Amino acid sequence: MFESGGKVVFTATNLLYPVFLLIVFSLTVILIPREVYKKYMIYGMLVGGLGDVLSVFVYQNLLGFMWFKNQGLFYVLGQHALSPLCWTFTVMIFLYFLPAKRFFLYVYTLAWAMASVCYGYVVQNAKLFDFKSWFYPIPAFIAFLIWWSFAVWLYSRTEETVIS
């Protein structure tokens, strides 16, 4: 990926985002039917990609709670260029498997918020991301819960999804 003394070096830091992007993109292509792929892509871009850019702007650039680091060639305007793409495809998967039963929807949304916090720790362990010690896990969990709840709210209001 990056050269070190004439050798190509593959590390978790270099490969985490490209590999994760490849995985979530592949999952969307395999799991989401072609007829509805565009619909989910639009939600993914709005809630995932744009949501990531806005969240990073607020939490990193304005408030300084978190920040990207060691971005290498993926550094674009203070953000990791692949992060919004990863969030785009992740939101597509989240919405495609959205449960119709209210109880399961609550559990599902809570689980995705917890998984998002765990992913934040993975990205931190790969030395691509860091945060103020007080921000993880509880405030970050609340932020992710709001984000996933917004995705559910937007999708259910615009798609006339019946949640019982």
Residue spans of the domains in the chain: they are: 2-158
Give the residue among 101, 93, 103, 104 at the shortest CA–CA distance from 21.
93
Phi-psi region of 8 (alpha: psi -120 to 50; beta: other; left: phi over 0): beta
Quick one: pLDDT at residue 1?
A: 53
Residue entry with tokens 């934040």: 120
The token pair at 91 is 């939101």
Q: Are 69 and 128 in contact (CB under 8 A)?
A: yes
Q: Name the pTM for this structure.
A: 0.92
On whether the CB atoms of residues 111 and 59 are closer than 8 A, the answer is no
pLDDT by residue (tens digit) across 72-122?
888 888 889 999 999 999 999 999 999 999 999 999 999 999 999 999 999
**What is the mean pLDDT of the segment spanning 9-18?**
86
164 exposure class (CB count in 10 Å sphere: 0-12, 13-18, 19+): exposed
- With a cut of 60, say whether residue 29 has pLDDT above it: yes
- C-beta of residue 6 within 8 angstroms of C-beta of residue 14: no
